[in-house]
Amino acid sequence: MINPIKIAVDAMGGENSPYKVIKGIEIHSKDSRNIFYNLFGDKNILEPILKKTKVNKECYKIIHTNNSIKDEDSPLSAAKKGKDTSMWLSIESLKQMESDATVSAGNTGALFVIAKLNLKMIEKIDKPALSALWPNKYGMNIVLDLGANIECSEKNLIDFSFMGSALHKSLFENEDPKVALLNIGSEELKGNNIIKNTYQILNEKKNSLFEFKGYIEGNQIMDGNVNVIVTDGFTGNIALKTAEGTANFISSELKQAFNSSFLGKLSGFLNISNLKNFKKKLDPRLYNGAILLGLDKPVIKSHGSTDEVGFANSLKVCEKIIKGKLIEKIKKNII
């Protein structure tokens, strides 16, 4: 029998946890096989919820702790809080090779700090990057960095190109990664010196992992001509939040338009199939699961405010990157 994939779960992190975490596991376990969940949290709270689900008792183990990281904790205070919090123990499980990946919907800053304190960086990589899925016209983009590093060097952006490509190949093995640098224009002379130098290096150094496609502007992110978009954390975070806000605005305005009058309701009814597909395309829960790339073990950050569907998708990301041998791909291709 093949050894199961073991996912360490911080069951206490994020809004409406641990309920959404357990329900997310229930959803994920229905479609996935040979997965084992190491659940870190308060046994007295977790067990009653688990008893009301269809999660197989043979597929999980509870590691009890009373302590957890709160959303209002600063990264420093979270690190000092103690080594018996559910987040710390879930990362430590990864360090001790008792789990293959860790997922948490808890405090983002705390997760970064605790992960970096416990885990090693992949050799030759200077900084980790936060990466996430982002829909495009034909499929999915990997976008990084989304906030881990405000300032980046040419070396960092090149590393992000290789790590993002390895991630894309792990998640979508039948697609070839196509990398572009997010910039204020498509011409070679546009941008600051760091991004222009990075362009020159990537343009001159051919590699077997990805095809370099040059620059991409913000309004081209969803065109689907590239699928790995590289930028610094400051620009990436603003782009992400802008896209999320725009998607929410469009969804809200459409809902209001189709409910504001009889003709609107009739039009909505006649187009219900197209509207469902459109809503699904914009549903952030289906792209949930950001990955802290650069560490020698996979750490996945689920959005704190997501529900059980979103958390189930972050578990699916864990499963895919383990099966896709993400860390091995990065180590093999990093320069």
Enumerate the domain spans of the chain: 1-120+311-323, 126-293
Q: Find the DSSP H helices in 185-325.
A: 193-204, 233-259, 262-270, 272-282, 308-323
The torsion angles phi and psi of 272, rounded to 5 degrees, stand at -60, -35
pLDDT at 334: 78
Global pTM value = 0.86
* Cα distance between residue 82 and residue 23, in whole Å: 28
At 147 the three-state DSSP class reads coil
Which helix (H) or strand (E) covers residue 109, if one does? helix 108-118
Residues of the chain with confidence (pLDDT) below 70: 1, 251, 253-254, 257-258, 262-282, 335
Fold match between 1-120+311-323 and 126-293?
Answer: yes
Q: Contact 113/76 with Cβ under 8 angstroms?
A: yes
pLDDT at 1: 54
Selected from 3.20.20.140, 3.40.718.10, 1.10.3980.10, 3.20.10.10, the CATH number assigned to the domain covering 126-293 reads 3.40.718.10
pLDDT at 275: 55
CATH code: domain 1-120+311-323 is 3.40.718.10
The residue type of 251 is S
pLDDT at 139: 87
pLDDT at 270: 56
Angle between helix 272-282 and 233-259 (nearest 10): 160
* Cα distance between residue 236 and residue 231, in whole Å: 6
Q: What is the largest CA-CA distance in the chain?
A: 62
pLDDT at 308: 94
Q: Quick one: tokens of 163? A: 């790590």
